[in-house]
Amino acid sequence: MGAVKEWLFDNSPNTPLQAQLGRIARDIRAVLRDPIAVIGLLVVLLMVGVAVLAPVLPLQDPGFQILNDRLQPPSAVHWFGTDTLGRDIFSRVVSGAGPTLAIVASVLAIVTPVGVLIGIASGLFARLDTPIMRLCDVFMAFPRLILAIAVAVTLGPGIGAAIVAIAVTGWPSYARIARAESVAMRRSEFVQAAQVLGASRIRIMLTHVLPLCLPSAIVRATLDASSIILITSGLGFLGASVPPPQPEWGAMVAEGRDVVFEAWWVSTMPGIAILVFALGFNLLGDALRNLVDPRS
């Protein structure tokens, strides 16, 4: 183990692979030394583990109704209490983590590569710069939640509609960041050297500029995950996300608004889940931003 550690943290790597793995190991060590980053990472891992293991955990059926147990307060039997139909809120909160995580992962898998590639193309191809940036201005002129609601209502309720609605509103921020970085690289020596050697614009974009834009895109995606969670919950609150009876945190908050004064736990428990999940991504994203920030 000591030999592997010495090999990873060697200041004079012998191969490109050793240098790359050494940098990754140093970045991981830097993140783990930051207590805020560790807290955020633990929260994210906990919520992801809950979402993945929810189908096999020994929980009550989240859709099972016991009308005689309506609006029961938190107890040893029902840890988070019951809702207006007598369903166990704890099992519904745990089961609701899956759809939220699926939407977050799907949206990030779409907007991150699409936004980064569009931004790099805008920065490297002068003819595309103005139309792409004006298109970004059009999307960013509307509040993201309002635009997502409009798209989701047009497409109808469902996880797929929610993913499309949030993805359509999310790519401009990635494009702007990638465009700013690619414009700075356009006059750099390594890009000019590649052009002299006959490399095409597409090859320069994919092999030279894209790898250098990925760290900031990853940081942006981590920070954006919390916004996606809040937008997903907002769509669920309005009934434009996951259709019932499948549990979803925003819809659960909406179900308890009529009884919030007599049964506060119906809305509070899923609201706390939204808060904790979003806060975990924010803490982790802040730590990653400090890691890649050249001024840090």
Distance (Å, rounded) from C-alpha 164 to C-alpha 111?
10
Please give the pLDDT value at position 258: 84
Please give the pLDDT value at position 7: 67
Which residue matches tokens 């760290």? 215
Please give the pLDDT value at position 294: 53
Please give the pLDDT value at position 9: 67
Tokens of 73: 């307060």
Phi, psi of 126 (to 5 degrees): -60, -35
Closest of 99, 90, 79, 82 to residue 57, by C-alpha:
90
Span between the terminal Cα atoms of the chain, in Å: 31
pLDDT tens for each residue of 93-115: 998 888 888 899 999 999 999 99
E strand spans, 190-243? none
CA 83 to chain centre: 29
Residues 6+ apart with CB under 8 A from 280: 39, 40, 41, 42, 43, 44, 46, 47
The answer to whether the CB of 45 falls within 8 A of the CB of 56 is no
Please give the pLDDT value at position 1: 58
Which segments in the chain show pLDDT lower than 50?
none
Please give the pLDDT value at position 2: 63
Bridge partner list, 82:
88
3-state secondary structure of 238: coil
The full set of domains in the chain, from first to last, is 98-296 (1.10.3720.10)
- The H-or-E segment that residue 105 falls in is helix 89-124
3-state secondary structure of 82: strand
Closest of 89, 96, 100 to residue 278, by C-alpha:
100
Distance (Å, rounded) from C-alpha 113 to C-alpha 111?
6
Which residue matches tokens 């895109």? 217
